[in-house]
Amino acid sequence: MISQLRGILLAKNPPELIVDVQGVGYEVSAPMTTFFELPEAGSEVRLYTHLIVREDAHQLYGFTNKRDREVFRTLIKVNGVGPKMTLAILSNIQVNDLVRYVRADDVTALVKLPGIGKKTAERLLIELRDRFKGWELPSSYDFQFEESESTIALEEGYVHEAESALESLGYKQQEAVRLVRSVLKQHKVDSSEELIRLSLKASAN
């Protein structure tokens, strides 16, 4: 089991990234909430990882903190919720929000997530309720993605990268395009990550 990687961040192409550990490049899948906390390519990074071994592939999933990794491990144990859906969930909301939704039995909030229907949302609430009872939350927690104040012009590559990343997170192509175009009408962005972040926020509204 590979539980941690520490090395140089070579590339970020959501939801995949590559970390060079002493000359070996590890490809890691990560939720967007992790990407938002990563430094620029070329910087040193440490990721807490979870390895899933299958007949056709060994897939690493990475997180900037152990808490997110623990929630990932908890979610993939839920019947009908695999790694891909779990990445989509953790890309759209932070762990503290998920815990609050579960404790409040908030089906409406969960079905807003890509790929989550009412039955899946209800299953998540049932199976996660007991597991999240002992989780500590900040006394006052109100998470929202911050608005972009960037004045740097958009590069064409950002649009395609953002749309592709949203599709890989479970959004249909038309929905991904709609979200990205909607954001571009309201904001100027300086990276594909910023465009993805604002698109996810728009999807949650």
As given in the structure block, the two tokens for residue 174 are: 């038309």
Q: Rounded to two decimals, what is the model's pTM?
A: 0.70
Q: How far is C-alpha 157 from the geometric centre of its chain's CA atoms?
A: 21
pLDDT the model gives residue 56: 86
Position 140 pLDDT exceeds 50: no
Mean pLDDT over 46-57 rounds to 92
Amino acid at 33: T
Highest mean pLDDT among 41-55, 143-157, 174-188: 41-55
- Cβ atoms within 10 A of the Cβ of 140, count? 5
Burial of residue 117, with CB atoms counted within 10 A of its CB: 0-12 exposed, 13-18 middle, 19 or more buried: exposed
CATH number corresponding to 68-129: 1.10.150.20
| Omega prior to 15 cis, within 30 of 0 | yes
| CATH architecture entry for 4-63 | Beta Barrel (2.40)
pLDDT the model gives residue 157: 64
Mean pLDDT over 55-78 rounds to 92
Domains of the chain, by residue range, sit at 4-63, 68-129, 156-204
- The residue among 79 and 20 whose pLDDT is bigger is 20
Mean pLDDT over 104-112 rounds to 89
Contact indicator for 189, 103 with CB cutoff of 8 Å:
no
pLDDT classification of 5: cutoffs 50, 70, 90: very high
Mean pLDDT over 9-35 rounds to 94
Q: Which of 197, 195, 190 is nearest to 152 (CA)?
A: 190
CATH class name, domain 156-204: mainly alpha
pLDDT classification of 153: cutoffs 50, 70, 90: very low
Contact indicator for 148, 196 with CB cutoff of 8 Å:
no
Backbone angles phi, psi at 157, to 5 degrees: -60, -30
- Decide whether 4-63 matches 68-129 in CATH topology: no
Angstrom distance (rounded) from CA 5 to CA 177: 34
SS (H, E, C) the chain: CCCEEEEEEEEEECCEEEEEECCEEEEEECCHHHHCCCCCCCCEEEEEEEEEECCCCEEEEEECCHHHHHHHHHHCCCCCCCHHHHHHHHHHCCHHHHHHHHHCCCHHHHCCCCCCCHHHHHHHHHHHHCCCCCCCCCCCCCCCCCCCCCCCCCCHHHHHHHHHHHHHCCCCHHHHHHHHHHHHHHCCCCCHHHHHHHHHHHHHC
pLDDT the model gives residue 147: 35
